[in-house]
Amino acid sequence: MEFAHNVTEFILLGLTQDQELQRVFFVLFVFFYLVNVLGNLLIIVTIICSECLNSPMYFFLGQLSFVDICYSSVTAPKLIGDFLVEKKSISLTGCLTQLFMVHFFGGTEIFILTAMAYDRYIAICHPLCYMAIMNKYVCSWVAAASWVGGFVHSMVQTLLTMPLPFCGPNEMDHYFCDVYPLLKLACTDTYVVGILVVANSGMISLTSFVVLVASYVIILASLRKPSSKGCLKALSTCASHITVVILNFGPCIFIYLQPSTTFPEDKMVAVFYTIITPMLNPVIYTLRNEEVKGAVRKLWSRKMMLRIK
């Protein structure tokens, strides 16, 4: 199958054309990216090194942190580098690769969040059967299925975009390659492809969000004694999960349930779900989780003791 492409590279217009603002954004996004990588690495190392964080919930949290690092690394370094150059370009191959990776890690994150909601549902609503249902074998298969689901979703998006002819113009009003900006530049009618994109990305986001909300409604309804210590802990954990779910799914639903058109707000919404949310995830889970905070303190104390010795 031959792909008709006359365009060999795309010019990214980025977040702003203002040189002064670009310098400010450079410092700001370097800070965001470092906080994201270091914060998520801290959670991964803490979960691996702490014996008390060996439950399925923390297994999935470790998976989520790893995905967050990968997800933001697909777009953030390129965005940061582009703040320092006048011509912000990306090759056609690089563009399609970036498109694939964004949807691969984004789709995987959605499925992992869904798995985390199921884990909390079993833990709170069926506590006596929890360890039997959520054993290591099941957790490994669920995690693997999340990665495979992300891969299949991404392959669909990429295969929908690859055959499109790009014959100019090649200026993309975005800071990374995504489906809708590419559809806008294609030299053909993209109505059907746009519908398929909505059916793929939009419906996955919306369906997963509805399932997640329904599961948390059931969980909250089952907590009949809000004064008990166990219920307060469960509420705190669920509050963290719900916050992360809203931060992840809200922007995705806004972007991918639209028709195949782009709006000026899309870039800022995209910044939120590709860079800001992955940075906030470790902060939300750490600040609201006493077990994680305690494990981080123990790990830090252990390292300090080793240095003293």
| CATH assignment at residue 210 | 1.20.1070.10
Question: Among 4-18, 107-121, 198-212, 290-304, which stretch is predicted with the lowest mean pLDDT?
Answer: 290-304
Q: Which pLDDT score is estimated for 232?
A: 62
Q: pLDDT digit string (tens) for 53-88?
A: 788 888 998 999 999 999 999 999 999 999 998 889
Confidence of residue 233 (pLDDT cuts 50, 70, 90): low
Question: Among 69-78, 158-167, 206-215, 231-240, which stretch is predicted with the lowest mean pLDDT?
Answer: 231-240
Residue 30 has pLDDT above 90, yes or no: yes
Residue 9 has pLDDT above 70, yes or no: yes
Most confidently modeled of 71-85, 175-189, 247-261?
Answer: 71-85
Residue at 4 is within a domain: no
Residue at 218 is within a domain: yes
Residue of 135, 17, 143, 24 whose CA lies nearest to 86: 17
Residue 135 has pLDDT above 80, yes or no: yes
Residue at 2 is within a domain: no
Q: Backbone phi, then psi, for 2, in 5-degree steps?
A: -95, 140
Q: Which pLDDT score is estimated for 75?
A: 94
Q: Which pLDDT score is estimated for 3?
A: 47
Listing DSSP states for 123-138 in one string gives HHHSGGGHHHHS-HHH
Residue 128 has pLDDT above 80, yes or no: yes
Residue at 157 is within a domain: yes
For residues 14 and 174, what is the distance between their CA atoms, to the nearest angstrom? Answer: 5
- Residue 75 belongs to what H/E stretch? helix 56-82
For residues 251 and 256, what is the distance between their CA atoms, to the nearest angstrom? Answer: 9
Is residue 248 within 8 A of residue 277, CB to CB? The reply is yes
Residue at 307 is within a domain: no
Question: How many structural domains does the chain have?
Answer: 1
pLDDT: is 260 or 282 the higher one?
A: 282
Q: Which pLDDT score is estimated for 260?
A: 54
CA distances from 252 to 151, 206, 308 (A): 17, 9, 48
Q: Which pLDDT score is estimated for 2?
A: 43
Residue at 1 is within a domain: no
Residue 250 has pLDDT above 70, yes or no: yes
Listing DSSP states for 207-273 in one string gives HHHHHHHHHHHHHHHH---TTSHHHHHHHHHHHHHHHHHHHHHHHHHHHHTS-S---THHHHHHHII
Residue 27 has pLDDT above 90, yes or no: yes
Confidence of residue 97 (pLDDT cuts 50, 70, 90): very high
Cβ neighbourhood burial of 9 (10 Å; 0-12, 13-18, 19+):
middle
Average of pLDDT values for 96-117? 92
For residues 288 and 238, what is the distance between their CA atoms, to the nearest angstrom? Answer: 10
Question: Among 10-14, 23-27, 93-97, 222-226, which stretch is predicted with the lowest mean pLDDT?
Answer: 222-226
Is residue 120 within 8 A of residue 237, CB to CB? The reply is yes
Residue at 31 is within a domain: yes
Query: Which residue range(s) make up the domain with 115?
Result: 9-302
Q: Which pLDDT score is estimated for 95?
A: 93
- 191-200 long-range CB contacts below 8 Å, 24 or more apart? 191/260, 193/160, 193/161, 193/164, 193/260, 194/259, 194/260, 195/260, 196/156, 196/160, 197/157, 197/160, 197/256, 197/260, 198/256, 198/257, 198/258, 198/259, 198/260, 200/153, 200/156, 200/157, 200/160
Q: Where are the beta strands (DSSP E) in 6-66?
A: 9-12
Q: Which pLDDT score is estimated for 265?
A: 67
Contacts of 166 (CB under 8 A, 6+ apart): 5, 6, 7, 92, 182, 185, 186, 187
Whole-model pTM: value is 0.87
Average of pLDDT values for 262-291? 77
Residue at 70 is within a domain: yes
